[in-house]
Structure 1
Amino acid sequence: MSQSEPAAATRRSGPSLWRNGNFLTFWSGQTLSQFGAQISELAVPVLAVLLLEASEFEVGVLNAANVAAFLLVGLPAGAWIDRLRKRHVMIAADLVRAIALSLVPVLWVSGVLQIWHLVAVAFVLGIATVFFDVSYQSIIPSLVKPSQIGEANGKLQSTYELANIAGPGFAGWLIALVTAPLAILATGVTYVVSAIALAFTRDHEQRRPAEDHAPLLTEIWEGLHFVFSEKLLRRIVGTTSVSNFFSTMSFTLLPIFLLRELGLSPASMGVIFSLGAVGGLLGAIATPRIVGLLGEARAIPVSAIGFSVVAMLLPIAAAVPAFAFPLLVAQSFVASFTVLLYNITQVTFRQRITPPRLLGRMNASVRFVVWGVMPIAALLAGALGTWLGVVATMWIGAVGQLLSAAFVVFAPFWRMRELPDVHTAEASVPAERSES
């Protein structure tokens, strides 16, 4: 169902968020915490691979622990979050993450840190991140006007990519200066600052009254039903979940691939991530123009083709080590650019078509599918890396990512320009008790 140009133009118009002090408070806290997260994302694998000498399987278990919560508690988390104030959930999650991360330098200084301590910390971080991320993707409609949702997502993704650019390079320098375990402490500090910023943010969300709560399993089913009854959203979930499964296989072994197979230093690893993240920033900035040129609907398969094809450059880099560094930068750059185009477009679509009472469950249902595959993929990567070797496993991951685009490439997106504003599935959402 295509949409008229005037309606699409109206959707993307509205006052600039640069004049919205409340959103700027929220945005500033998230910007700093996203920057801090880049430090631990580099420091933890460096700590595991170089200082604790983790094996391929142990690295797989560590990565699986970090995302296992999306599979284990992702669905009930969405139902619980829809019963709570999302901003309050985010504050609690930030504080839990800060406390968990602070244990790593304490254990290191005490001389008792082992890989299984990192696994336990990663699992706690993962649970807190489930609640934070589902709330984060659900809170935007309660902070800004409907016409500003796309702009808000674009701004948040832009600063996320700026953090990706500056964070890894700074993290590499900080690791060299104070060692990886102590560098992790910086991430915890940024989570505390994020919690403070959230405490000063105001939203217009109202808690659903207790009499409006259905049994937990009924509410979980309602979220899943909503996601899978929408034909376009079902296609997007298919591409995202398959891509995440195989990209997680590659990402799990990437530290070993870069640090051991290619012999790069942690600083070089950080530089690759930073240079590649420039593509993400440019993708976030260019998304409105690309969407205006191609149309919202067509931007989804175009971007999926981009990030799935360039995945092949990762294992190719092992075959031509003399050109490995530029190939890795190019892969990261193009992947980040196209993933940002894809994510901004599809997340805005999801937020726009979902009734406010279902936002938490919709996002949790999507995350359950597209992130729930990741711990399985991480464990499989560790096993295949041990059995077949790192490079062979990277080839499997690349080919799988190449195939992931099929769900949206062979779909109605090409015949449309704009994505719909309302739920368009033939099946309706099950009835719920009266809303407040």
Structure 2
Amino acid sequence: MRRDVNLYWCGQTASAFGSVFTTIALPVVALTDLGATAGEVGLISAAATVPGIVFGLLAGVLADRAARPRRAMLLLDLLSAAAVGAVALGLRHGVASIGWLTGLGLVQGFLGVLLGSLYFVHLRHLVGAQAIGQTRARLQAGQFGAALAGRILAGPVIALFGGAAALGTDAASYLLSALALAGMRSPDRTAAPPRTETRREGIRGAAAGMRFFAGHPFHRALLLFVAAPAAALAGAATLTGPFLLRTVHLPVGVYGLAFVLSGVMGLTGSALAERLLRPGRDARLTVLVCFAGALLSSVLLPVAAGPLPLAALCAALGIGLPVLFGAVANVALVSVLATDVAEAMMGRAMAALQVVTSATALVGALAGGFLGDLLGVRAALWMLAGAGLLVIGAVGPSAARAARGLRAAHADADAPGTDGADTPAAGPAAATGA
């Protein structure tokens, strides 16, 4: 298992390194080569979220039923490499357009929602529920480290060799990830449920993840704590390129350096998460505080002004600090779900979260582009952060009370002489697991 976890780490790290090149290259190519407006950049960003909304719940069902999740992930890596490589060739030969970049977002969104559900199903199968938090922290640390290196290199690569070279790097990273998965030796077959259910039962099964989050006040509040930052930060991500290149006037050659601090923050957050979320510790309050912190720290981005070095530093903090809080929140979220969700529906629970985040990110990306064109980029960034903070502030106190109540219920269930059958957490899990 240790060897396979190391291979998994290598594959995910390589993929994260390549993905940064595409993430940075797309807005740069759209703005500098294709003359895109803020609204068109928002359309490209939004395209990647549409498949998560349309296919998210179905992806969760497929992930829970996958008899060989590792083999499915390998195939998806190969398809991702082909999609990114095709657009790289289009850019190289000068035939790519805004439509091409939007289409790539749609394809990557579709493949990503499947990979996202399979990732956690495979990881839980590989290491078990108790070790998933620390293993996820280690994997995440590798991904942030690779992303840090990618952010340092992406700007110079794009400036010297163009966007096609950046996308080609991403395509190669998907191939390396596929090779790592192919080299793993532990059993890949899971105990997939039987496929004899009717179509109506299949639809109900697809919605089981959503029903889980509706079953307890904490889980309902958790959805809002995930959704509000997802919308605000997606809108901010849409406007970051126009803000840095056209408002702050950051040169293209050093554009990627503005994101370097986020890699350091991601590594720091992953290391902090591993310490904060050791087995036996409750992660519910941690996930609430860190999602709120990610949203609050994002206001540093629109604050950036003045001399270029000072503005760039402030913008880097506005990009990086949300990543630090988000890194801890992501690991805490996995720990919470591993505790509260039945194993047979882990994929559907993660898919439900993906649907929520995809839907809110779509709204945020489109709103960011629209507000950027209407009011200006800086004003749009302020409005996005303010709206998200209003939501968090409204539900925060009740969410914290529900988290403490759920922790107490679990403590009572774990006490000698109790079986936990009547705890609030057991109810939703059992009901949706059926």
Q: Do the structures match in fold with TM over 0.5?
A: yes
SS, match of residue 147 in structure 1: coil
- One of 354, 358, 375 as aligned partner of 1:371: 358
The Cα shift of 1:168 comes to 0.9
Residue of structure 2 in register with 1:186 after alignment: 169
Query: CA offsets per residue over residues 40-94 of structure 1, 9 Å max, x none?
Result: 1111111111111111121111111112111111111111222223223212221
Q: Output the CA distance in 2 between the equivalents of 1:294 and 1:204.
A: 31
Deviations 1:403-436 (A, max 9, x none): 3433345422674796849871655644777xxx
8 Å contact kept, 1:56–1:382: yes
What is the CA–CA distance in structure 2 between the aligned matches of 1:162 and 1:427, rounded to whole Å?
37
- Do residues 265 (structure 1) and 251 (structure 2) align? yes
1:46, 1:361 → 2: CA distance? 35
Contact in 1 for aligned 2:81/2:170 (Cα 8 Å): yes
Preserved CA contact (<8 Å) 1:43 1:175: yes
The answer as to 2:79 corresponding to 1:92 is: no
Q: How does 1:145-160 map to 2 (within 5 A)?
A: 145-160=128-143
- Residues 73, 115 of structure 2: 8 Å contact kept: yes
Separation in 1, partners of 2:311, 2:328: 26
Matched, 1:350 2:337: yes
Partner Cα distance (1:385, 1:262) in 2: 15
Match of 2:326 in 1: 339
How many pairs are equivalent? Answer: 415
* Identical counterparts, % of pairs: 27
Mapped partners of 2:389, 2:205: distance in 1: 35
Question: Relative to structure 1, is the Cα distance of residues 83 and 304 closer, same or farther in structure 2, using a 3 angstrom cutoff?
Answer: closer
Equivalent in 38, 43, 59 of residue 56 of structure 1: 38
1:424 aligns with: 425
**Could you tell me which residue of structure 2 aligns to residue 23 of structure 1?**
5
1:29, CA displacement in angstroms? 0.7
1:172 alignment counterpart? 155
C-alpha RMSD of matched pairs (Å): 2.5
1:209 match: 194
Conserved 8 A contact 2:156-2:254: no
Match of 1:279 among 259, 262, 265: 265
Map 1:247-266 to 2 at 5 A: 247-266=233-252
Distance 2:402 2:342 in 1: 23
Is 1:297 the counterpart of 2:280 in the alignment?
no
Which whole-Å CA distance do the structure 2 matches of 1:417 and 1:166 have between them? 40
Shift of 1:148: 1.3
Q: Is the partner of 1:402 in helix, strand or coil?
A: helix
* One-letter amino acid of the counterpart of residue 229, structure 1: G
Q: Relative to 1, partners in 2 of residues 1:369 and 1:425: Cα closer, same or farther, differing over 3 Å?
A: farther
Query: Using the alignment, how far apart are the partners of 1:68 and 1:309 within structure 2?
Result: 26
TM-score by length of 1: 0.88
* 1:382 alignment counterpart: 369
The question of whether the paired residues in 2 share the 8 Å contact of 1:241 and 1:373 is answered with yes
Amino acid at match of 2:99: W
Q: TM-score, normalised by structure 2?
A: 0.88
State the AA in 2 paired with 1:31.
T
Segment of structure 1 superposing worse, 409-418 or 235-244: 409-418
Residue matched to 1:397: 384
After TM superposition, the structure 1 stretch with the greater mean CA deviation from structure 2, 69-78 or 350-359, is: 350-359
Task: Return the offset for 1:248.
Answer: 1.1
- Three-state SS of the structure 1 residue aligned to 2:268 is helix
Alignment correspondent of 2:316: 329
Q: Residue 229 of structure 1 aligns to a residue in which SS?
A: coil
Against the structure 1 CA distance between its residues 291 and 105, is the aligned structure 2 distance closer, same or farther, given a 3 Å change threshold? Answer: closer
Work out the CA distance in 2 between the residues paired with 1:52 and 1:185: 19
Asked whether the 8 Å contact 1:60–1:381 carries over to 2, the reply is: yes
Do the aligned partners of 2:209 and 2:432 also contact (CA within 8 Å) in 1? no
Gaps of 5+ in 1: 1-18
Q: Deviations over 1:272-305 (max 9, x none)?
A: 2112221111111012334579963332333233
The amino acid of 2:244's aligned partner reads L
Q: Deviations over 1:174-205 (max 9, x none)?
A: 21231112221110111011112112223352
Match of 1:317 among 304, 325, 328: 304
- The structure 1 residue matched to 2:229, chosen from 232, 236, 243, is 243
Matches of 2:288 and 2:225, distance apart in 1: 10
Question: Is the alpha carbon distance of 1:415 and 1:351 closer, same or farther for their aligned partners in structure 2, counting shifts above 3 Å?
Answer: closer
- Matched residue type, 1:283: G
Cα 1:72–1:105 change in 2 (3 A) is: same
184-193 or 321-330, which deviates more: 321-330
1:81 to 43, 52, 63: 63
**1:112-161 deviation digits (Å, cap 9, x = unpaired):** 11111111121111101110111112221100133211111111111121
Matched residue SS, 1:112: coil
Separation in 2, partners of 1:416, 1:273: 39
Contact 2:151 2:256 in 1 (8 A): yes
Letter in 2 for 1:67: T
Larger mean CA deviation between 205-214 and 396-405 belongs to 205-214
Residues 347 and 145 (structure 1), Cα distance of their counterparts in 2 relative to 1, 3 Å cut: closer
Choose the corresponding residue for 1:196, options 168, 179, 185: 179
CA distance 1:409–1:135, shift in 2 (3 Å): farther
Partner residue, 2:417: none
> Quick check: 412-421 or 149-158, which moved more?
412-421
Q: Which residue is 1:39 aligned to?
A: 21
Task: Work out whether residues 78 and 360 of structure 1, in 8 Å CA contact, stay in contact via their aligned partners in 2.
Answer: yes
Matches within 5 A, 1:123-134: 123-134=106-117
